[in-house]
């Protein structure tokens, strides 16, 4: 029996290593630089840096290329994003990125990191096990593109409840739209998120209005960023990972310390507890830059949603800023589904009902 268990452990470990190595083989990193030597700091602006250093998934420098658009009068960000995508780049590192370049990179399927310090240290950060775990966690929570039905419940200190039912669709890293199905007073309203831009459509107004990530279209503790959530890895990177094996209560979990990639993200930092076996979150603390606690999010009741998707079906949140209040999100259905880009436009917001099958 012991031999069998030992053999199973060996096979599992080898499989994990092979899967991790295979993932790294698909990674190609471009780092903005002022020099074609690796022993230099990360370059400043991604669109106007003199050159890019290209690294493979093992952190080895494989090529240095000039930035052909560094002197462009306009559109440099869009052009360099397409240029790097043509080189097979999957991740771009620089000190700063323009908004249009970020949008272009995401359209081309590339991730980005705003990092300072030495080039080689920045590459190590991107390739760290913590960031690999975070990207796997995103896919374990949701398919890259999907539809879902969920109920949001706001609970007041006196026990009074208000409930909402939403139909939600998501595509890729930065496109989410939602439709209110109930209560009757909210039915037909829709929301749209494109990266950090958000809108609310109200039928009797007849046109979308801008909303912010820290507001809430339903009230309660969940804000718009929570309700229209993007992949965690698209907004955050892992600064540090802990494996508290000496603490019995959390020895089966990783603790990831996440930092926002830009200042426009709702929370400056996240502290995330991740189950080691399932690579799913169990708890997240949302923090300010000064580490003040804004809210705590709890993931509960793991369920099988079909098509190999097994994840928590209940998300609860509470906040020291709203003592006695609690909000709960309950998923009834999550299904992989492809959508056209047209679905995630302002003009389509009144027509989200047509997507329901």
Per residue in 214-248, pLDDT (tens digit) is: 899 999 999 999 999 989 988 899 999 987 665 55
Cα distance between residue 212 and residue 214, in whole Å: 6
Q: pLDDT value at position 190? A: 97
What burial letters (b/e) apply to 286-322, b meaning 16+ CB within 10 Å? bbeeeeeebbbbbbeeeeebeeebebbbbbbbbbeee
Beta-ladder partners of 267: none
Render pLDDT for 142-151 as a digit per residue (tens, 0 to 9).
Answer: 988 999 999 9
Tell me the chain's radius of gyration from C-alpha atoms.
Answer: 22
Cα distance between residue 178 and residue 242, in whole Å: 35
- Cβ 104 vs Cβ 123: under 8 Å: no
Q: pLDDT value at position 103? A: 83
Cα distance between residue 204 and residue 187, in whole Å: 11
Please state whether 284 falls in left (phi above 0), alpha (psi between -120 and 50) or beta. beta
Q: pLDDT value at position 110? A: 86
Q: Please tell me the pTM assigned to this model.
A: 0.80
> Exposed, middle or buried by CB within 10 Å (0-12, 13-18, 19+), for 64?
middle
- Cβ 348 vs Cβ 342: under 8 Å: yes
Q: pLDDT value at position 263? A: 84
CB atoms near residue 19 (< 10 Å): 12
Question: Going from the N-terminus, what domains does the chain have, and what CATH number goes with each?
Answer: 24-127 (3.30.420.130), 140-355 (2.50.20.10)
Q: pLDDT value at position 25? A: 55
Q: pLDDT value at position 249? A: 58
Residues of the chain falling short of pLDDT 50: 1-23
Cα distance between residue 223 and residue 120, in whole Å: 37
- Cβ 258 vs Cβ 222: under 8 Å: no
- Cβ 110 vs Cβ 91: under 8 Å: yes
- Cβ 154 vs Cβ 220: under 8 Å: yes
3-state SS, one letter per residue, for the chain: CHHHHHHHHHHHHHHHHHHHHHHHHCCEEEEEECCCCCCCECCCECCCCCEEEEEECCCCEEEEEECCCCCCCCCHHHHHHHHHHHCCCCEEEECECCHHHHHHHHHCCCEEEECCCEHHHHHHHHCCHHHHHHHHHHHHHCCCCEEEEEEEEEECCCCCEEEEEEEEEEECCCEEEEEEEECCCCCCCEEEEECCEEEEECCCCCCEEEECCCCCCCCCCCCHHHHCCCCHHHHEEEEEEECCCCCHHHCCEEEEEEEECCCCCCCCEEEEEEECCCCCEEEEEEECCCCCEEEEEEEEEEEECCCCCEEEEEEEEECCCCCCCEEEEEEEEEEECCCCHHHHCHHHHHHHHHHCC
Cα distance between residue 309 and residue 288, in whole Å: 32
């Amino acid at each position: 029996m012991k031999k069998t268990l030992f053999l199973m452990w060996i096979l599992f470990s080898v499989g994990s290593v092979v899967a991790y190595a295979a993932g790294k083989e698909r990674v190609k990193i471009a780092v903005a630089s002022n020099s074609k030597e690796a022993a230099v700091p990360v370059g400043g602006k991604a669109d106007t840096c003199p050159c890019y250093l290209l690294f493979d998934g093992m952190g080895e420098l494989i090529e240095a290329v000039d930035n052909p658009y560094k002197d462009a009068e306009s559109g440099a960000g869009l052009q360099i994003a397409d240029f790097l995508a043509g080189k097979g780049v999957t991740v771009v590192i620089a000190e700063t990125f323009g908004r249009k370049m970020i949008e272009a990179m995401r359209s081309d399927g590339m991730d980005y990191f705003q990092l300072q310090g030495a080039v080689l240290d920045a590459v190590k950060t991107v390739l760290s096990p913590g960031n690999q775990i975070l990207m796997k966690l995103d896919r374990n929570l949701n398919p890259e593109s999907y539809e879902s039905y969920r109920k949001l419940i706001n609970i007041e200190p006196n026990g009074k409840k208000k409930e909402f039912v939403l139909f939600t669709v998501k595509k890729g890293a930065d496109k989410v739209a939602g439709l209110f199905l109930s209560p009757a007073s909210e039915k037909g309203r829709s929301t749209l998120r494109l990266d950090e831009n958000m809108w609310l459509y109200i039928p009797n107004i007849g046109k979308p209005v801008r909303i912010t990530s820290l507001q809430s279209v339903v009230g309660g503790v969940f804000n718009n960023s929570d309700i229209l959530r993007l992949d965690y890895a698209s907004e955050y990177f892992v600064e540090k990972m802990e494996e508290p094996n000496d603490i019995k209560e959390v020895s089966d979990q990783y603790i990831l310390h996440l930092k926002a990639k830009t200042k426009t993200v709702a929370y400056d930092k996240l502290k995330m507890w991740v189950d080691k076996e399932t690579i799913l979150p169990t708890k997240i603390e949302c923090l300010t830059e000064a580490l003040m606690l804004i809210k705590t999010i709890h993931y509960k009741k793991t369920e099988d949603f079909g098509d190999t998707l097994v994840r928590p079906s209940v998300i609860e949140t509470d906040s020291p800023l709203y003592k006695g209040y609690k909000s709960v999100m309950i998923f009834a259905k999550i299904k992989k589904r492809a959508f056209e880009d047209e679905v995630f436009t302002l003009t389509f917001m009144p027509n989200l009902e047509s997507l329901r099958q």
